[in-house]
Amino acid sequence: MKKAIGRASALMLCLMAGAMVAPALAADSIVALANTCNNCHGLKGVSVGASMPSIGGQSESYLRTVMLEWKNGTRYSATMGRLLKGYSDEQIVALAKYFAAQPWVPAEQRAPDQVVFNGRLVSDRCTTCHGERGGRPSDDQTPRLNGQWALYLEMEMNKYRDEEVKLPHRKMRKNAQKLEPAEVYEVSNFMAVQKGQ
């Protein structure tokens, strides 16, 4: 129920934002704007730093929601909230659209076979929503995980495991907290090395 409300309000925000897009926000400026994200997230959203997520080809709806939540402070972030407070909702909507339209490029990374094997054994906590190999999310508010950086995935799950950190998704917190620390590492690596969906 709570999730449904969250989705409805996100949709409202998005619709309002769509209606408010000013003519000044020219399409060429959207690419220029998106280029400011490349510093940390890579050209076309393909990150080459293990703690920074790739965002190119991620779900538009997911990207838009997390950016708006960071901006309005309902989702914890170490850095992103301070950045996004400088972007208008229209710019955030446009950025989500731009990065979602880029191809998803799995990160070049490896993990020991045993780690990946162990990770698969506990991955059923993730696959219901994110898909069997993390690449077929059940809805557009759920991010894909296949080929995402393992370190980033591990760091995100550690946020959900930390009670001091304010995050909106209770189901995610519940599942992350049921994993042992070693399993967090293993399942992150399992998802990270998946190239297909």
Partner 1 sequence: MNSVNRRVFLQSLAAAGSASILTVPAARAASTAKARVVVVGGGFGGAAAAKYIKLMDPAIDVTLVEPNATYTACPLSNEVISGHRTLESLQTRYGGLTARGINIVQRWVTAVDPVKKVVTLTGGATLSYDALIMAPGVDFTWGAVEGYTSEVSAEIPHAYKAGPQTLLLKQQVEAMKDGEVCIIAPPPKPFRCPPGPYERAAQIAHYLKHHGKGKSKILILDPNDSFSKQGLFTQAWKALYPGMIEWVPGKDDGKVVKIDPKTRTCYTTFGEHKGTVVNIIPAHKAGKIARDAGLANAQGWCEVQPMTMESTVHKDIYPVGDCCIAGELPVYDMPKSAHMAVTQAKVAAGAIIAKLHGLPNPEPFYVNTCYSLAAPDYGFSVVHVYKVEDNKFIYVKTAGGISPIQAAPITRKLESEYANGWFNNIMADAFV
Query: Contact positions toward partner 1, by CB under 8 A?
Result: 14-15, 18-19, 21, 24-33, 35-36, 38-43, 47-52, 76, 78-79, 82-87, 94, 97-98, 101, 151-152, 155, 158-159, 162, 164-165
Sign of the four-CA dihedral 74, 78, 81, 82: positive
Rg (CA), the chain: 17
The type of residue at 166 is K
- Nearest distance, CB of residue 132 and partner 1, angstroms: 28
- Nearest distance, CB of residue 194 and partner 1, angstroms: 20
- Nearest distance, CB of residue 40 and partner 1, angstroms: 5
Whichever of 100 and 120 has its CB closer to partner 1, that residue is: 100
Whichever of 41 and 120 has its CB closer to partner 1, that residue is: 41
Whichever of 38 and 74 has its CB closer to partner 1, that residue is: 38
Alpha-carbon distance values, 65 to 75, 79, 89 (Å)? 10, 16, 11
The owner of tokens 């920074």 is 52
Question: Phi and psi for 110 in degrees, rounded to 5?
Answer: -130, 160
- Nearest distance, CB of residue 189 and partner 1, angstroms: 16
Whichever of 83 and 197 has its CB closer to partner 1, that residue is: 83
State the Cα–Cα distance between residues 82 and 85, nearest whole angstrom: 6
Whichever of 96 and 129 has its CB closer to partner 1, that residue is: 96
- Nearest distance, CB of residue 61 and partner 1, angstroms: 12
Residue 89, Cβ density class (10 Å: 0-12 exposed, 13-18 middle, ≥19 buried): buried
The tokens for 173 are 């917190």
